[in-house]
Amino acid sequence: MRYTVLAAGLLAAAVIPNGAVYAADTTVKGYGQGVETDSLNRPVGAAEFTDRYRELGAVALSSDADRVILTFDQGYENGYTEKILDTLKEKNVKAIFFLTGDYAKKEESLVRRMINEGHILGNHGMKHASLPKLSDSEAEDEIMSLHNYVLNNYGYEMQFFRPPCGEYSEHALETVQKCGYKTVFWSFAYVDWKTDQQPSPDEARKKLSDSAHGGEILLLHSVSATNAEILGDVIDDLRAKGFRV
């Protein structure tokens, strides 16, 4: 299993106490961090989610209180990932890239570059299917078929899962845990995935800077032209605020 300093706060946040018992609810829920923040500028929704589901191996905040973790969802390639990787290399930043099965199969050179440059690969589902809407066997296959594909074709063992569509249930979180994974949501995201409605660089940069907080798990989409353009400045802004990135 791969382990890095970047992942330490996620792994530490998902320790299962002895004797924990759950009556797993199958209700489908949509995750969102909300807009209310606490005294540390952390979204209350993300903090409450982590407190509630930590014992099911699910987090929306890292326990590494002075770090911001950059994560990218890789559903399809839009021509910006290479530039994003160039910026991360220049700034000496490691990120987590959550791959779908389609991406892992079609973008071999980019995936290999992610691995070679020390980034973490995460599992975003073989078919990007909503996990709580699947049967147990279908849900396990959604996770493990991609896990095994990446292991067999790239020699890389993934350990973090991000639920497609941001949808979950307690039962689905248990399924992820049974597959040997930690579930990683996010503590901040903004509407960056609409390729024909991209926010201005100044607007996006201010939004990301104003929302920064310790333990942040920042969700970005690599299909965003704005993200690719401002990423270096965003990293500089976060570091200027005293965060490790």
Tell me the catalytic residues. Answer: 73, 221
At 35, the amino acid letter reads V
What is the C-alpha separation between 231 and 71, in angstroms, rounded? 12
| Strand-strand pairing, 216-221 and 68-74 | parallel
What's the chain's length in residues?
245
Would you say 60 and 33 are in contact if contact means Cβ atoms under 8 Å apart? yes
Burial of 92 (0-12, 13-18, 19+ CB in 10 A): exposed
List the beta strands (DSSP E) in 75-190. 96-99, 120-123, 160-161, 167-168, 182-184, 188-189
